Chain A
């Protein structure tokens, strides 16, 4: 039986259980008198949830362990002659041969022993496919039978079903936290591996970044330098160039939309600006490489300023455009959240609109605007695609936006692209960079969220 049908079974069982349980509960003469503890529908919910939740748990665990059980089946079935003295790598080769044979993809003349084991594997798979729905149905029916038989006047079905629902909600909420934790732990683990090979002092304070190492002992070449300062400087140069564009444009656009635009204009302009946030970053990348880069080089070249083809200013400008909606949208929210009474107070004293904006609205909205800027900053230093396309690979110790720089994200991409081994500092350096980036953006995000929150409390 196919997995998709198996996935439907618990739902059908649950609906059936709901119908049976509610109709059973309705048969009590006390229904409608208020003497039953729980309404019939809660008896239904309890039965349905008690069928559905364990059933999906069983399906999940079954599919999770199916592969390793099947592997065990194969290993057991393989004749000793083949497995005796075989290395783990050879065993997994045998296993994949069996799996291919079982799925009908055989090349040449396969070993008859393998063909036989493949037959066993097929049987096992078929057994698993049918056993799973059977188990679900049996467990579901048993649960339903027990619970339906317990339906009584004082049976607290509502409380139990609410407890199950609450458990589900907690599970979902925990899942996202666990995901974050898992990401952090895997980064931390690999990052620590890196720092056990390269000292953190070299990494955080070294000024030469050249993550090439000799592949063979006799190879002539660099032994690798992992001073990340130039990489950080490149990241910050591009991020600051981007913010240099995005902050003024974003804030001025927000002031225009919040205070000066008519509702009609605002209705058109605001979605158009927010459209910028929806453009895929790779499209921004094209734009940077194909339009901005040649334009800037020609333009500045014509007045005698040499610009590197991978100058920080190119991805910086384009990233700045990308960040405009982040800042304008959050600033607009912050400005419009300032109470009308403050605006009236200022206008009532004879202040004009500009004075009201600069002296009352902006100071009152400042925390919200700062929060928006910090969120944009985390985007700027974590942005990958634009810089991969438009920034360089060579790490230069410079803050000059006209020179080529590289960024943390570009280096991570470069270090992890192609054939990689996870036992040398070159590859592990990516995790060192990733960990640093993650911690920096996490910190900025926390600060931004705190500021925005405090701002919200001010007027609520």
Chain B
């Protein structure tokens, strides 16, 4: 029944031990002006696993993702209701500093968006604004480690002074991932990180995501069923601002409970 969904590395599906919950949302509702984009979403995000958010365009999956590090704050008309907690702390509480929150919950965007600065300065940006290094050598080390973790170091080690905008699309996206992990976040949010990349660059980034989950909790929004199947351990299916089904990726793709999930992942709608 699931012939047209290809499963990639078995490693991604090696039965993960039950992980503690890193973040969760309860009855999350989001309004853009008069329009309601999310209608009471409940979702738990396990630690050091990849959680994929899937669903047709406009279903609210990106909106939910942007709630997790309060990026919706930058949208003047957006209003968020409900309870979202990181390690049990309400991230919308008045005592939470949004700057600190975003250092803990990093984000990688749909379109690679390197700053018009050198490769080095792009990665050093976060450590600089948060004061995460003791001296120049330490900063150098952070940048190097981050680039290595993002699998980009070998390709750029001789041209760290060149502008980040001069890299190819796939390299730019890995640079943005390196930039995100340079501040040692606990959670990394990825909003369709491969939609602007070619298949080869996509494969590289997917491998990277698979490795990153050893150290980071990852939430990824994707349009590609195959990608969700390949990289995630848990999948949540969004539809019209609600979660219709959530569970282990393997089960979602082989034996979904909900008719809509089944139709969507077999390509009958969406």
Question: In residues 240-271 of chain A, which contact B (Cβ within 8 Å)?
Answer: 262-263
A262-B76, A263-B76 known; A349+B116 contact, CB < 8 A: no
Establish whether residues B76 and A350, one from each chain, have CB atoms under 8 Å apart when the complex forms: no
Q: Give the contact stretch, choosing among A126-134, A359-367, A426-434.
A: A359-367
Q: Report A335-362 CB contacts with B as 1/0, cut-off 8 Å.
A: 0000101111111111110010001100
- Is B119's CB within 8 Å of the partner chain A? no
Q: Give the contact stretch, choosing among B17-25, B100-108, B205-213, B251-259.
A: B100-108
Which chain A residue shows the least CB distance to B115? A360
Which chain A residue shows the least CB distance to B117? A363
> Using Cβ atoms and an 8 Å threshold, which residues of chain A touch B128?
359
> Using Cβ atoms and an 8 Å threshold, which residues of chain B touch A343?
74
> Using Cβ atoms and an 8 Å threshold, which residues of chain B touch A339?
113
Nearest CB on B from A368, distance (A): 13
- Is B139's CB within 8 Å of the partner chain A? no
- Is B126's CB within 8 Å of the partner chain A? yes
Establish whether residues B129 and A359, one from each chain, have CB atoms under 8 Å apart when the complex forms: yes
Establish whether residues B74 and A344, one from each chain, have CB atoms under 8 Å apart when the complex forms: yes
Q: Give the contact stretch, choosing among B176-184, B215-223, B232-240.
A: B176-184
Establish whether residues B129 and A349, one from each chain, have CB atoms under 8 Å apart when the complex forms: yes
Contact of B69 among A348, A359, A360 (CB under 8 A): A348
> Using Cβ atoms and an 8 Å threshold, which residues of chain A touch B71?
344, 347-348
Q: Is the interface of B mostly helix, strand, loop or mixed?
A: helix
- Interface residue count for A (Cβ, 8 Å)? 21
- Is A458's CB within 8 Å of the partner chain B? yes
> Using Cβ atoms and an 8 Å threshold, which residues of chain B touch A359?
115, 125, 128-129
Q: Report B52-78 CB contacts with A as 1/0, cut-off 8 Å.
A: 000000000000000001010010100
Establish whether residues B126 and A349, one from each chain, have CB atoms under 8 Å apart when the complex forms: yes
Question: In residues 439-460 of chain A, which contact B (Cβ within 8 Å)?
Answer: 458
Establish whether residues A350 and B126, one from each chain, have CB atoms under 8 Å apart when the complex forms: yes
Establish whether residues A355 and B109, one from each chain, have CB atoms under 8 Å apart when the complex forms: no
Establish whether residues B102 and A345, one from each chain, have CB atoms under 8 Å apart when the complex forms: no
> Using Cβ atoms and an 8 Å threshold, which residues of chain B touch A349?
102-103, 106-107, 125-126, 129, 179-180, 183
Establish whether residues A351 and B129, one from each chain, have CB atoms under 8 Å apart when the complex forms: yes
Q: Report B78-116 CB contacts with A as 1/0, cut-off 8 Å.
A: 000000000000000000000111110011010101111
Nearest CB on B from A170, distance (A): 39
Question: In residues 114-147 of chain B, which contact A (Cβ within 8 Å)?
Answer: 114-117, 125-126, 128-130
> Using Cβ atoms and an 8 Å threshold, which residues of chain B touch A350?
99-103, 106, 126, 129-130, 183
Nearest CB on A from B96, distance (A): 12
A347-B71, A349-B126 known; A458+B102 contact, CB < 8 A: no
Nearest CB on A from B88, distance (A): 20
Establish whether residues A351 and B113, one from each chain, have CB atoms under 8 Å apart when the complex forms: no
Nearest CB on A from B38, distance (A): 19
Establish whether residues B106 and A364, one from each chain, have CB atoms under 8 Å apart when the complex forms: no
> Using Cβ atoms and an 8 Å threshold, which residues of chain A touch B129?
349-352, 355, 359
A350-B101, A352-B99 known; A345+B115 contact, CB < 8 A: yes
> Using Cβ atoms and an 8 Å threshold, which residues of chain B touch A363?
115-117
Contact of B113 among A262, A342, A352 (CB under 8 A): A342
Contact of B102 among A262, A263, A342, A348 (CB under 8 A): A348
> Using Cβ atoms and an 8 Å threshold, which residues of chain A touch B99?
350-352
> Using Cβ atoms and an 8 Å threshold, which residues of chain B touch A360?
115
> Using Cβ atoms and an 8 Å threshold, which residues of chain A touch B103?
349-350
A347 to B125, CA, bound (A): 11
> Using Cβ atoms and an 8 Å threshold, which residues of chain A touch B74?
343-344, 347
A263 to B100, CA, bound (A): 27
Question: In residues 182-236 of chain A, which contact B (Cβ within 8 Å)?
Answer: none
Nearest CB on A from B201, distance (A): 18
Nearest CB on A from B174, distance (A): 14
A349-B183, A355-B129 known; A341+B102 contact, CB < 8 A: no
A363-B117, A458-B116 known; A348+B109 contact, CB < 8 A: yes
Nearest CB on A from B247, distance (A): 29
Establish whether residues A344 and B76, one from each chain, have CB atoms under 8 Å apart when the complex forms: no
> Using Cβ atoms and an 8 Å threshold, which residues of chain A touch B176?
345
> Using Cβ atoms and an 8 Å threshold, which residues of chain B touch A262?
76
Nearest CB on B from A367, distance (A): 10
> Using Cβ atoms and an 8 Å threshold, which residues of chain A touch B113?
339, 341-342, 344-345
Q: Can you list 23 pairs linking A and B with CB atoms under 8 Å apart?
A: A262-B76, A342-B113, A344-B113, A345-B179, A347-B71, A347-B102, A348-B71, A348-B102, A348-B106, A349-B125, A349-B129, A349-B183, A350-B183, A351-B99, A351-B125, A351-B126, A352-B129, A355-B129, A359-B125, A359-B129, A360-B115, A364-B115, A364-B116
The interface of chain A, by Cβ under 8 A from chain B, is 262-263, 339, 341-352, 355, 359-360, 363-364, 458
12 new A-B pairs (CB below 8 Å) besides A345-B115, A348-B71? A263-B76, A344-B107, A345-B176, A347-B71, A348-B180, A349-B102, A349-B106, A350-B100, A350-B101, A350-B129, A351-B129, A360-B115
